[in-house]
């Protein structure tokens, strides 16, 4: 599991550790890790041209001490001072090692092999200031490798919001713990490759944000045992599709068939289309209450204007509500359910549920997903460039898999079927949602390999993604 902690928590752990260590020891640890990472990216420090962008705080101090180490190993290091002040001892260390302050900042970054962004770290507020923004633009245009110290300057460490201009790094070397912003878009896109330097912080067992890795998903996935029959493995009911959108039913069922449940029951008007592609489906014209027992329902993909989710919400099994099922969804109807509910909106649907604008949800995804989970007393999977899963309490899960090619019609239908199937197989709601998103993103990567991908290709790649995870 990759975990991330908010600034407040990191600062408390830092204070506790600093009290036990000699002055400056933590910054030296951080700088040593940063210098080693930079030397690695340069293929050796000797003869390299390194420029440090130095802000007012300790983030600049880290850059200066790392610069001193690189200068001692033979790099030509100069510092561009962008803050109201600069870390004095760090600057003295750089000068002592033969580094200097650049007198032509833009010229220096244009000639650099590597630029270190030490403008702001966890103490930064808002986007880059104009003087810093100018030098950062020159650095981006120069072809130099751009390495961010702790965080790309200009992004919000706790939320992943980017309020103005921010550094776009090739890599970010972060200290002690990942910060939520490093895992969540839009900030995540600014961070490049992530590297964590252990500086010995003792952090609480429960993080603020977490991201599943292969081994976590492997532990969650259901495995049939000797005495399993199709009913014991779980039956998932899919209420989807309409005369206008029969394809959504086919795609949701295709996801559900590859999600671990023993059988898929389809309820709705698109039975012929479903059977043509998936003859193994149990098809029923409806209503859901008469279709037979299931262990979880999926409702919503391609329903169009057909009546909403009420009938299914009254059932006593877990329900996943997606797409058209989310329209006008009543929070009290969801909150009073006797079994868990999972909602899987994209940003536009989340905005409608929250009564706000889509851009608002996109710029503050973490807050939006938490707010929805609280309001509906449900597990909420917010789809997007980084898919987030929140329950009423506990860490928010960030999905680390996926590809921008996944933003394609029908891919959400596959995901809702898949996650619903995992629910029916007995996974807890947040596990079903996050393991579903993980497999779905992995399948999309496999199916796409850098080219456009159709939703059905994603469904067909699910068994391979499943095998990848199982190793």
Ligand X SMILES: NC(=O)C1=CN([C@@H]2O[C@H](COP(=O)(O)OP(=O)(O)OC[C@H]3O[C@@H](n4cnc5c(N)ncnc54)[C@H](OP(=O)(O)O)[C@@H]3O)[C@@H](O)[C@H]2O)[C@@H](O)CC1
Which residues are at the interface with ligand X (CB under 6 A)?
A: 10-11, 14, 26-27, 30, 55-62, 83-84, 119-126, 128-129, 132, 149-150, 175-176, 199, 201
User: Was 98 annotated as part of a binding site?
Assistant: no
The smaller minimum CB distance to K ion, of residues 148 and 458, is found at 148
Angle, nearest 10°, between helix axes 411-424 and 429-448? 140
- The residues that bridge with 107 in the sheet, in sequence order, are none
Does 149 bind K ion (CB under 5 A)? Our answer is yes
Between 163 and 223, name the residue whose CB sits nearer to ligand X. 163
Give which of K ion, ligand X, none residue 156 binds (C-beta under 5 to 8 Å, depending on kind): none
User: Least distance in Å: CB of 327 to ligand X?
Assistant: 40
Partner in contact with 147, chosen from ligand X, K ion, none, beta carbon below 5 to 8 Å by kind: none
35 binds, options ligand X, K ion, none, Cβ within 5 to 8 A by partner type:
none
- Determine if residue 122 is labeled as part of a ligand binding site: yes
For residues 318-377, which are near K ion according to CB under 5 A? Answer: none
Report, in Å, the least distance between residue 169 CB and K ion: 8
Stretch that binds K ion, among 141-149, 215-223, 294-302, 458-466 (CB under 5 A): 141-149
The first and second tokens of residue 384, run together, are 């997007």
Position among 153, 174, 379, 448 found at the interface with K ion (CB under 5 A): 153
Nearer to ligand X, 154 or 234 (CB): 154
105 binds, among K ion, ligand X, none (CB under 5 to 8 A by kind): none
**By CB under 5 A, residue 156 contacts K ion:** no
Distance of alpha carbon 380 from its chain centroid, rounded?
14
Distance from C-alpha of 26 to C-alpha of 8, rounded to nearest angstrom: 17
The annotation status of 302 as a binding-site residue, yes or no, is yes
Report d(CA 215, CA 281) in Å as an integer: 31
> Which of 108, 155 has the CB closer to ligand X?
155
On whether 23 is known to bind a ligand per the annotation, the reply is: no
Please give, one letter per residue, the 3-state secondary structure of the chain: CEEECCHHHHHHHHHHHHCCCCCCHHHHHHHHHHHHHHHHHHCCCCCCEEEEEECCCHHHHHHHHHHHHHHHCCCEEEEEECCCCCCHHHHHHHHHCCCEECCCHHHHHHHCCEEEEECCCCCCCCCCCHHHHHHHHHHHHHCCEEEEECCCCCECCCCCCECCCCCCCCEEEEECCECHHHHCCCHHHHHCEEEEECCCCCCCCCCCEEECCHHHHHHHCCCCCCCCCCCCCCEEEEECCCCCCHHHHHHHHHHHHCCCCCEEEEECCCHHHHHHHCCCCEEECCCHHHCCCCCEEEECCCCCCCCCCHHHHCCCCCEEEEHHHHCCCCHHHHHCCCCCEEEECCHHHHHHHHCCCHHHHHHCHHHHHHHHHHHHCCEEEECCCCCEEECCCCCEEECCCCCHHHCCCCHHHHHHHHHHHHHHCCCCHHHHHHHHHHHHHHHHHHHHCCCCCCHHHHHHCHHHHHHHHHC
Least distance CB 413 / ligand X (angstroms): 42
C-beta of 26 vs 373, nearer to ligand X: 26
- Give which of K ion, ligand X, none residue 324 binds (C-beta under 5 to 8 Å, depending on kind): none
Supply the minimum distance, in Å, between the C-beta of residue 8 and ligand X: 11
Nearest Cα residue to 94 out of 134, 54, 139: 54
| Nearer Cβ to ligand X (30/455) | 30
**Closest separation between CB of residue 60 and ligand X, Å?**
6
Closest residue to ligand X in the complex (CB) = 121
Q: Which of these segments, 1-9, 114-122, 243-251, 340-348, binds K ion (CB under 5 A)? A: 114-122
Residue 140 burial (CB count, 10 A): 16
The listed partner (K ion, ligand X, none) that binds 117, CB under 5 to 8 Å by sort, is K ion
Part of the chain binding K ion (CB under 5 A), chosen from 112-120, 211-219, 255-263, 291-299 = 112-120
Contact with K ion (CB under 5 A) among 117, 185, 210, 349: 117
- Residue 63, binding choice from ligand X, K ion, none, Cβ under 5 to 8 Å by partner class: none
185 counts as binding K ion under rule CB under 5 A: no
- Residue written as tokens 């995870």? 469
Q: Show binding-site residues for K(+).
A: 59, 117, 153
Q: Which residues are annotated as a binding site?
A: 58-62, 117, 121-127, 150, 153, 248, 302, 346, 383-387, 412-413
Q: Which residues bind K ion (CB under 5 A)?
A: 117, 148-149, 153
């Amino acid at each position: 599991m990759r975990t991330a902690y908010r600034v407040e928590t990191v600062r408390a752990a830092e204070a506790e550790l600093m009290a036990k260590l000699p002055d400056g020891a933590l910054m030296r640890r951080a700088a040593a890790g940063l210098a080693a990472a930079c030397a690695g990216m340069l293929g050796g420090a000797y003869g390299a041209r390194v420029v440090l962008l130095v802000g007012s705080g300790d983030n600049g101090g880290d850059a200066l001490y790392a610069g001193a180490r690189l200068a001692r190993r033979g790099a030509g290091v100069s510092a561009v001072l962008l803050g109201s002040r600069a870390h004095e001892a760090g600057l003295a260390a750089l000068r002592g090692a033969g580094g200097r302050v650049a007198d032509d900042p833009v010229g220096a970054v244009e000639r650099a092999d590597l630029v270190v962004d030490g403008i702001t770290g966890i103490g930064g507020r808002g986007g880059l200031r104009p003087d810093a923004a100018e030098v950062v633009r020159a650095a981006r245009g120069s072809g130099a490798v751009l390495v961010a110290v702790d965080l790309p300057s200009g992004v919000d460490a706790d939320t992943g919001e980017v309020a103005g201009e921010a550094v776009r790094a090739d890599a970010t070397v972060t200290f002690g713990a990942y910060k939520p912003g490093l895992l969540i878009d839009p900030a995540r896109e600014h961070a490049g490759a992530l590297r964590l330097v252990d500086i010995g912080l003792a952090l609480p067992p429960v993080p603020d944000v977490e991201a599943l890795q292969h081994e976590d998903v492997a532990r969650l996935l259901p495995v049939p045992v000797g005495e399993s029959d199709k009913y014991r493995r779980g039956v998932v009911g899919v209420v989807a599709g309409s005369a206008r959108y029969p394809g959504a039913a086919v795609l949701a069922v295709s996801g559900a068939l590859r999600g671990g449940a023993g059988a898929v029951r389809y309820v709705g008007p698109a039975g012929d289309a479903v059977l043509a592609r998936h003859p193994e489906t149990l098809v029923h014209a409806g209503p859901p209450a008469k279709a037979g027992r299931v262990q979880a329902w999926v409702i919503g993909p391609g329903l169009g204007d057909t009546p909403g989710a009420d009938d299914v919400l009254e059932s006593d099994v877990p329900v996943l509500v997606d797409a058209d099922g989310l329209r006008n969804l009543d929070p009290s109807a969801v909150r009073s359910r006797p079994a868990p509910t999972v909602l899987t909106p994209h940003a536009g649907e989340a905005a409608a549920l929250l009564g706000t604008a889509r851009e608002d949800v996109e710029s503050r995804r973490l807050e939006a997903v938490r707010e929805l989970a609280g309001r509906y007393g449900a597990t909420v999977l917010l789809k997007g460039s980084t898919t987030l899963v929140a329950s009423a309490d506990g860490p928010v899960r960030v999905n680390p898999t996926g590809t921008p090619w996944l933003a394609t019609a029908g891919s959400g239908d596959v995901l809702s079927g898949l996650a619903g199937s995992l629910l029916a197989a007995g996974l807890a709601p947040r596990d079903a949602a996050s393991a579903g998103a993980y497999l779905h993103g992995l399948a999309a990567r496999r199916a796409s390999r850098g080219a456009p991908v159709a939703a059905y290709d994603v469904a067909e790649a699910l068994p391979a993604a499943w095998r990848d995870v199982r190793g």
